[in-house]
């Protein structure tokens, strides 16, 4: 059981575990960039924030124990908007896959992962019983940049908005916090209340 504090980072943590289950049951198996001749696929790694970096990718010890850069999914709540009574976390789920087929059909792997994530989001509606999906569009796109050829790697993203907790003042310390008054800081001159 995850001990949630209802922050955007807690949402990221919960989504990492949730997305892992969505892409593993049934598993989405993709090409292995470190063993392209293999007919066995690998499940994408799911990471909070960013894909971890290896110190020396040519070192076989690191490659054998370090997670693959691709295929992978990163989950980051890079933007948060707070209102007085509720907050919004804009979560970006970036997808990176690899396929060296010259027909460039690897984009379909990105599309399949994005679709699985979108289905999971809408079927769940609330992540970890704490973060509701807001009634706004969930965006998905395959990134195609005509100025740069990323051949071998295919990129995509899903963007969704979830409700997050907005901290409230403690009533016993600030009894007038829910009223329309201005409270001064300790040790300063009191400010007038609004009329």
Q: Is residue 172 part of a domain?
A: no
Q: Is residue 178 part of a domain?
A: no
| Cβ pair 117, 93 in contact under 8 A | yes
Q: What is the pLDDT of residue 74?
A: 96
CA distance 84 to 102: 53
pLDDT in tens, 50-108: 987 764 455 555 555 555 588 999 999 999 998 888 899 999 999 999 888 887 788 89
Q: Is residue 158 part of a domain?
A: yes
Mean pLDDT of 38-59: 78
Which token pair is 191? 């400010």
Helices assigned H by DSSP within the chain: 8-24, 60-65, 107-124
Mean pLDDT of 104-126: 93
Q: What is the pLDDT of residue 127?
A: 94
Q: Is residue 181 part of a domain?
A: no
- Among residues 116, 151, 127, 100, the alpha carbon closest in space to that of 27 is found at 116
Containing structural domain, residue 103: 8-164
CA distance 94 to 141: 10
- Among residues 113, 104, 107, the alpha carbon closest in space to that of 29 is found at 113
Question: How many domains does the chain divide into?
Answer: 1
pLDDT above 70 (res 130): yes
Q: Which residue has the higher pLDDT, 84 or 8?
A: 8
Mean pLDDT of 134-162: 89
Q: Is residue 173 part of a domain?
A: no
Q: Is residue 123 part of a domain?
A: yes
Q: What is the pLDDT of residue 40?
A: 87
Q: What is the pLDDT of residue 151?
A: 79
Mean pLDDT of 31-41: 83
Q: CA torsion sign, 148 to 154 to 160 to 162?
A: negative
5 three-class SS:
coil
Q: What is the pLDDT of residue 109?
A: 93
Q: Is residue 115 part of a domain?
A: yes
Q: Is residue 96 part of a domain?
A: yes
CATH of the domain at 70: 3.30.70
């Amino acid at each position: 059981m995850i001990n949630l504090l209802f922050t955007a980072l807690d949402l990221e943590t919960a989504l990492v575990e949730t997305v892992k289950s969505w892409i593993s049951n049934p598993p989405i198996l993709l090409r292995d960039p470190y063993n392209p001749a293999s007919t066995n696929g690998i499940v994408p790694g799911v990471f909070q924030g960013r894909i971890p970096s290896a110190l020396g990718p040519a070192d076989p010890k690191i490659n054998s124990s370090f997670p693959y850069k691709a295929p992978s999914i990163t989950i980051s709540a890079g933007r948060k908007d707070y209102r007085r009574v509720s907050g919004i976390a804009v979560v970006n789920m970036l997808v990176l896959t690899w396929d060296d087929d010259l027909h460039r059909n690897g984009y379909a792997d990105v599309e399949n992962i994005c679709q699985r994530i979108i289905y999971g989001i809408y079927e769940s509606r609330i992540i970890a019983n704490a973060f509701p999906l807001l009634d706004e569009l969930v965006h998905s796109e395959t990134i195609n940049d005509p100025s740069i050829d990323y051949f071998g790697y295919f990129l995509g993203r899903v963007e969704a908005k979830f409700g997050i907790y907005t901290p409230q003042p403690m009533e016993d310390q600030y009894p007038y916090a829910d009223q329309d008054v201005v409270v001064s800081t300790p040790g300063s001159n009191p400010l007038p209340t609004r009329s």
